[in-house]
Structure 1
Amino acid sequence: MDNIILYLLQTIQQLYQQNRWLLNFICRYIPLKQWAFEDSHSPKYQKYRIDQLPLIGYPKQDWDWNDLLKYYKDRYGKAIRPVSRRSACDIPETAVCPRCGAPMLYLYKNNGSKGQLLCKLCDTRFSPEENRYAKILSLRCPYCGHSLVPKKHRKFFVLHKCVNPKCSFYLHNLKKVDKHHLHEDYGKNKYKLHYIYREFTVDFFRMDLSSLPKNSSSLKFTKHNAHIMSLCLTMHVNLQLSLRKTAQALNDLYGIKISHQQVASYARTAALVIKPFVDHYDYHASDTFTADETYIKVRGIKGFVWFIMDAFSRSILGYQVSDNRSVGPCILAMRMAFRHFKKLPQNFRFIADGYTAYPLAAQQFFHEFGEAFRFDITQVIGLTNDDAVSKEFRPFKQMIERLNRTFKSSYRVSCGYDNYDGANYNVALWVAYYNFLRPHKHNCYQVLNKVDLLQGAENMPGKWQLLIYLGQQTILNLQNRQAADSICS
């Protein structure tokens, strides 16, 4: 009986060792599913990665020099005498310790003529011109605790970098560098090795999302009427005619003589009224968003349009026109898409390309709102499915790319925009048409969002007039809500 028990115990130990060997082999050579979805372990994706938030350090000012004198006398039974100087001292009499406030009598030079001083009471080393205790706060690396150094000043942010050569984050990334790159000149610059943090100097969460072009005309018509205005919108937005072609079509078809500048004025005014309804409409968004940015031309100079789409209803939830491709417009578009969310739904997924503005914007949402808006960016990188993430989520990326092509088909007729005001009102009208008026093939040639009032219109000009009416009602509701909030406050 004892031999059987001993034999079984030995067998169990052998199986246990074999299982450990198999697990070690799988972890080393067979990528698990959750590992395949983590692209940041690959060196070629390092530059697409956004580091975690830094530590915030506050200067310690816990003691007063008078309290320290009393403490030392009570603790050791003798008082601390001022510094005994054997030669003339050039420390100014106004100098004090920045930590405990000790006067010049308790300060002496720590490194000779190099300028560093040492307090005899609290043992603090500092420079009289610039010391760390004069700062309100300091940014520190979350891996090594080293103070971050501001390296670059950009338009919207300051880039801070951890320059500690012994930082664990730096040493871990350094191991991933190819050996032949280490021997090349500036070979390590092909990789992102150091911890980097961007401190924004502009608060994109306090900006107005409802701004639109100025100099819009009134809806009180003197020469034409609302029907002609809706005809202009139908031809210019639905049929993708340019301003001059719209004016020519009205003259050729209906004998209505109107200038292309008047068509532009009607479109600008309609956008100003319709935009609040489109932006504040409750789309009942799902838990999967997809986003991308595309190029436009404004006076021959490259600009950008950001789109955020609900992956299931295909509605455009957020959009923004900008003259730059920085993280600011990305945050504004996300704010518009998250307008009706008090908290993100469970299993929320945000799908975008490999551009670093999206993870950086997601980090700023977490920094601003906390756990309620904590989400990761699923990045579909490149044009081919080189990893498991791209293979699974490529269809969602193709949705937003198809949206970009649909928008470009209406944009090409204008051959670019004359200014950003024109780009703003044109995009606002196109989004209203796409979400509420355009029939979609994938939705059985029905509109994406059915509004009962719009369903009663017999033709497209009538729907544009009703859409303007809904915009007016939304503006009145917003004004009444704002007035009620100001009275309550």
Structure 2
Amino acid sequence: MDSIITYLITYNQYLLNIIFQLVLFISKYIPLKQMAFDDSNSPEYQKFKVDKLPKIIRFEKVDYILLLEYYKYKYNKLIKPVQRRSGKSIPIKTTCPKCGAPHQYIYDNNGSRGQYKCKVCGLTFKEYNYASKPLVIRCPYCNSILAEKKERKHYNVHKCNNSKCSYYLNNIKKLPKDLPSTDKYKYKLHYIYREFNINFFKMDLYKLPKQATSFNFKKFNPHILGLCLTYHVNLKLSTRQTAHALAEIHGIKISHTQIANYAMTAASVIKPFVDSFDYKPSRILSADETYIKVKGIKHYVWIIMDACKKSILGYQVSDTRAVGPCILAMRMAFDKFKAFPGKALKFIADGYSAYPLAKQQFELEENKIFDLTQVIGLTNDDAVSAEYRWVKQVIERLNRTFKSSYRVTCGYGSDDGALYGVSLWVAYYNFLRHHPYNYWRPLNELDALKHADNMPAKWQLLISLGQQTILHMQEQSGSS
């Protein structure tokens, strides 16, 4: 027996030595071509790199008569019609697409080859000119007009096709020298801009839920409702386990379906209060996404939290990992600031490309500029990761806390159920859960809950605060 163990140990050492020699050989003699490209380790992720904003030229029409009067008022001179030479003329129907000046004020700009120039507003155009479009998107590096290449569900992809663009030429230089020309398509070389066709900044984040209603108990009472929420949310019991606990401990016979209905209604009433509460956030936010199951299909939960005070400021449930839900969650978090801190705001996230895309849209649509830092990987291989790793670990710890409560549900039955289930947990986390880093007190202490002796009473008071918030929102919507 001892000889067999000795032989196995010797053979194991031999295998380890072979593996070491193979790893050494690979690192010395097999170059990783894709590592030569500076932007990412894998060419597949080049397509998701977010470039800086393009030059966007919005087309606005003006009246040439007003321009003529303005020129006369400012310079005390008249803009005279164009004096034709050598009998040249342009079609009478030709007018400036910007100011509407008639053909008398239009130059033949390139010798009867179809290009014109307006003498009043200075626009150069053709008969089918881009000036009639609502906006023109130009490359920020070479000023070329971007071509629309692809149409996606929520955005269109525009690409710069200029082969002399400085952005393109710099990326060509970064390619591995021995890369075959047929493999260039794997790398992102041209400037790309994603134009969103859905405005995520006009969506109502705080609309009144359909389930918002008053509690009229025919068989049970508010205390039993508080017991249901305490067992189900605080103690992480499933609805069936909660029904069993109420029957065995308190002698209350209630179905698990009734408990689920209570949880859904309580979540819909409490959610407006949780979303509109003044958290007084710090200037360091952390964001991450995790997955859940809805009817057996993978969905995603986006969570944005205050890294210093630990409160959850924004959250969204979505069936895709696209940038839209990310923008909605960031809007919800940014709305907690009475005055947006701008560049003083530190926003920490992982390396997923949705976050820089969302940052770009905030700059474009709402002129909100903030500092986005992406912590990539699991080890501190660079100065950025070493400085902000603790912020990333805070949100990762929060995800584990959420998952421990989510597992008992075995997934959600509907999209609304998932959203209100998450919002009910956020209410518990922000206002009822005792946190060790806050000296075993809730993150946000409410005066209305200080005199409540037990957790069911606190849930009832929290529901009451939610009802007051809904009434206030209804009064505001009615007055407006």
TM over 0.5: yes
Q: Distance in 1 between matches of 2:202 and 2:61?
A: 34
Q: Distance in 2 between matches of 1:60 and 1:80?
A: 35
Q: Name the counterpart of 1:90.
A: none
Q: Name the counterpart of 1:136.
A: 134
Q: Distance in 2 between matches of 1:171 and 1:360?
A: 24
Q: How many residues align?
A: 422
Q: CA deviation at 1:300?
A: 1.3
The residue type equivalent to 1:179 in the other structure is K
Q: Distance in 1 between matches of 2:379 and 2:372?
A: 19
* Aligned-partner SS, 2:366: helix
Q: Distance in 1 between matches of 2:117 and 2:208?
A: 62
Q: Name the counterpart of 2:170.
A: 172
Specify whether residues 383 and 63 from structure 1 end up closer, same or farther in structure 2 by C-alpha distance, changes over 3 A only: same
Q: Distance in 1 between matches of 2:206 and 2:59?
A: 41
Q: Distance in 2 between matches of 1:277 and 1:118?
A: 61
Q: What is the CA RMSD across the aligned residues, in angstroms? A: 3.2
Q: Which moved more, 1:165-174 or 1:290-299?
A: 165-174
Q: CA deviation at 1:153?
A: 1.2
8 A contact 1:359–1:376 mirrored in 2: no
Specify whether residues 335 and 267 from structure 1 end up closer, same or farther in structure 2 by C-alpha distance, changes over 3 A only: same
Specify whether residues 385 and 53 from structure 1 end up closer, same or farther in structure 2 by C-alpha distance, changes over 3 A only: same
Say which of 412, 415, 431 aligns to 2:410: 415
Say which of 148, 157, 160 aligns to 1:159: 157
* Aligned-partner SS, 1:450: coil
Q: CA deviation at 1:218?
A: 4.0
Q: Name the counterpart of 2:354.
A: 357
Specify whether residues 120 and 468 from structure 1 end up closer, same or farther in structure 2 by C-alpha distance, changes over 3 A only: closer
Say which of 420, 436, 439 aligns to 1:425: 420
Q: Distance in 2 between matches of 1:347 and 1:125?
A: 43
8 A contact 1:439–1:445 mirrored in 2: yes
Q: CA deviation at 1:478?
A: 2.9
Q: CA deviation at 1:186?
A: 2.4
* Aligned-partner SS, 2:182: coil
- 1:329-355, CA deviations, whole angstroms, 9 ceiling, x for partnerless residues? 111111111113222166320000011
8 A contact 1:354–1:380 mirrored in 2: yes
Q: CA deviation at 1:98?
A: 5.4
Q: Distance in 2 between matches of 1:62 and 1:79?
A: 29
Specify whether residues 124 and 471 from structure 1 end up closer, same or farther in structure 2 by C-alpha distance, changes over 3 A only: closer
Q: Name the counterpart of 2:217.
A: 221
Q: Name the counterpart of 2:87.
A: 81
Q: Name the counterpart of 2:21.
A: none
% identical aligned pairs: 54
Q: Does 1:185 align with 2:182?
A: yes
* Aligned-partner SS, 1:185: helix
Q: Name the counterpart of 2:444.
A: 449
Q: Distance in 1 between matches of 2:190 and 2:286?
A: 30
Q: Distance in 1 between matches of 2:475 and 2:212?
A: 23
Say which of 365, 369, 390 aligns to 2:366: 369
Q: Distance in 2 between matches of 1:282 and 1:108?
A: 61
The residue type equivalent to 1:291 in the other structure is A
Q: CA deviation at 1:80?
A: 5.9
* Aligned-partner SS, 1:290: strand
The residue type equivalent to 2:453 in the other structure is E
Q: CA deviation at 1:94?
A: 8.8
Specify whether residues 121 and 420 from structure 1 end up closer, same or farther in structure 2 by C-alpha distance, changes over 3 A only: closer
Q: Distance in 2 between matches of 1:54 and 1:146?
A: 10
Q: Distance in 2 between matches of 1:387 and 1:263?
A: 50
Say which of 361, 373, 380 aligns to 2:375: 380
Q: Name the counterpart of 1:18.
A: none
The residue type equivalent to 1:365 in the other structure is F
Q: Distance in 1 between matches of 2:61 and 2:473?
A: 49
Specify whether residues 475 and 215 from structure 1 end up closer, same or farther in structure 2 by C-alpha distance, changes over 3 A only: closer
Specify whether residues 419 and 58 from structure 1 end up closer, same or farther in structure 2 by C-alpha distance, changes over 3 A only: closer
Structure 1: tracts of 5 or more residues without a match: 1-40, 85-92
Q: CA deviation at 1:101?
A: 4.9
Q: CA deviation at 1:436?
A: 0.9
8 A contact 2:82–2:107 mirrored in 1: no
8 A contact 2:227–2:456 mirrored in 1: yes
The residue type equivalent to 2:451 in the other structure is G
Q: Distance in 1 between matches of 2:176 and 2:450?
A: 62
Q: Does 1:270 align with 2:266?
A: yes
8 A contact 1:273–1:471 mirrored in 2: yes
- 1:440-462, CA deviations, whole angstroms, 9 ceiling, x for partnerless residues? 22223221111122121111111
Q: Name the counterpart of 2:53.
A: 53
Q: Name the counterpart of 1:43.
A: 39
Specify whether residues 460 and 268 from structure 1 end up closer, same or farther in structure 2 by C-alpha distance, changes over 3 A only: same
8 A contact 2:317–2:325 mirrored in 1: yes
Q: Which moved more, 1:117-126 or 1:310-319?
A: 117-126
Q: Distance in 1 between matches of 2:365 and 2:435?
A: 37
Q: Distance in 1 between matches of 2:291 and 2:140?
A: 37
Say which of 378, 387, 390 aligns to 2:385: 390
Q: Name the counterpart of 2:340.
A: 343
Q: Distance in 2 between matches of 1:387 and 1:279?
A: 36
Q: Name the counterpart of 1:9.
A: none
Q: CA deviation at 1:253?
A: 2.0
- 1:266-313, CA deviations, whole angstroms, 9 ceiling, x for partnerless residues? 111111111111111111111100000001111111100000011111
The residue type equivalent to 2:424 in the other structure is L
Q: Distance in 2 between matches of 1:346 and 1:451?
A: 31
Q: Distance in 2 between matches of 1:374 and 1:108?
A: 42
Q: CA deviation at 1:327?
A: 1.1
* Aligned-partner SS, 2:287: strand
* Aligned-partner SS, 1:117: coil
Q: Which moved more, 1:296-305 or 1:192-201?
A: 192-201
Q: Name the counterpart of 2:396.
A: 401
* Aligned-partner SS, 2:348: strand
Please report the TM-score for the alignment, with normalisation by the length of structure 1. Answer: 0.78
Q: Does 1:292 align with 2:298?
A: no
Q: CA deviation at 1:479?
A: 3.2
